Homo-oligomer: A and B are copies of this chain.
Amino acid sequence: MQPQPKPLSTAPYKGVRDFYPKDWARMSAIFSHIAKTVKTFGYEEYAASPLERAELYESKTSQEIVRDQTYTFIDRGERKVTLRPEMTPTLARMVAGKRRELVFPLRWFSIPNVFRYERPQRGRLREHYQLNVDFVGSVSTDDSDREILFLAATILSSFGATEKDFVIRINDRSLLKAACTHADMPEEKQKEYLRLLDKKDRIPEKEFISARKAITGTDPLTILETGIYADIVEIKKRLQGHKEWLSKCGVPNVEIDPTITRGFDYYTGMIFEVFDTSSENTRSLFGGGRYDGLVALFGGEPIGAVGFGMGDVGLADFLETHNLMPQSQSAPTLFLGTAPNTSIEEVEKFAHVLRKNNVNVFVNLSHKSLGDQVHEADKRGIPYFVAIGADEIRTQTLKAKRLIDGVEKTAHVNEIHSFFEQS
């Protein structure tokens, strides 16, 4: 090996995370908890590559995101490639690709990593994991919208969150659209207006009020308050119906909020955002909505769809704020210590039996004393210890010790596993 002129840096690429075993155990505990809950609603997991053809995002993802915030590059075959900034376009592509074979409606979920080129000074991550849950197919719009809202709430409550910990604010894109139309707002002004509403919670209230005042003509939000337009009344009634239905299903923490807009251009109907009620964390936790036009971008008749995306960072913040983080352990269950001069072949025979009984075994290969091995097990967070020496090999009987309280159990190697609570 030649000496290196300068050591390589151990830092990960800017804005992404390394997951050491403890960190990954924590993430996995959250993910598997979520996957379990979502599966009880009949949802099936799918996946795809983070590499997508860039054109997928050029028509319907928010233009700001595509232009300024994606990783897009040209491959050696002159193809324009994007690291997916979100999963919904991939889902729509996959659904469209097998629309003749799939049995609709689809209840699908995925937990992909997604990439955003955030400017470094904002200190935000360039890669995060995001649960995506989608109901795709033409059944009653109300029923599927409600199921998605109910599932979103159930995920949080499955971690132990109560109705006091979060609030779901619902709205409908068609409500805003109708209000803009009745206010005679020109098409080109409407996007700008939605953007103003979208950042409402991120700017000072004063700034929001003065921006509303600057609108030439009638402010669409004022129109929504009047209740004189039949189409607006109709949509509000539907939202009210969702609210009542959810309340009957044990989710009373729902509010109708006509300022909710969601960033993406592809939403067509109900949209929602979930907020943490804790004063420490007022940002939107996650959200979603109905996007009935996306699948048809790939040809064929439109297929209705509704879903949401939940990022890992916001969720972990929420769980920590409310002390709801699930328990996790990365360490194995049992440290198999070795007395001096014990042959590893013999130790492996014990390990083999224990593994067959689903015990996660860490075999000592060092020449430390047994006392030091116990100390090491403790340092690693391994809860149980067994020492193997000449007696154990002769009798095939093991004495296992629980390190936290010193409780011991002696049993034949075939029986000892019942003592270990599996992690």
Contacts and interface: CB of A to CB of B under 8 A. Distances in A.
Interface string A62-89: 0000000001010111010100000000
Contacts of A17: 48-49
Interface stretch (A5-13, A178-186, A228-236, A274-282): A5-13
State the number of copies, please.
2
Contacts of A126: 51
A314 interface: no
Interface stretch (A105-113, A215-223, A388-396): A105-113
A42 interface: yes
Given A55-B8, A297-B7, A379-B103, A355 B98 contact: no
B73 A46 contact: no
A358 interface: yes
A159 interface: no
Contacts of A143: 344, 365
A320 interface: no
A32 B379 CA distance: 27
A114 to B, nearest CB: 12
A4 interface: yes
B40 A380 contact: no
A263 to B, nearest CB: 18
Main secondary structure of the interface of A (DSSP, over half): mixed
B147 A13 contact: no
Given A1-B268, A18-B97, A120-B77, A24 B12 contact: no
A150 B352 CA distance: 11
A10 B39 CA distance: 27
Interface of A: 1, 4, 7-14, 16-21, 24-25, 27-28, 36-37, 39-53, 55-56, 59, 71, 73, 75-77, 79, 81, 93-94, 96-98, 103, 105, 107-108, 113, 115, 117, 120, 126-127, 139-140, 143-144, 146-147, 150, 245, 248-249, 268, 293, 296-300, 302, 330-332, 344-345, 348, 351-352, 354-355, 358-363, 365-366, 376, 379-380
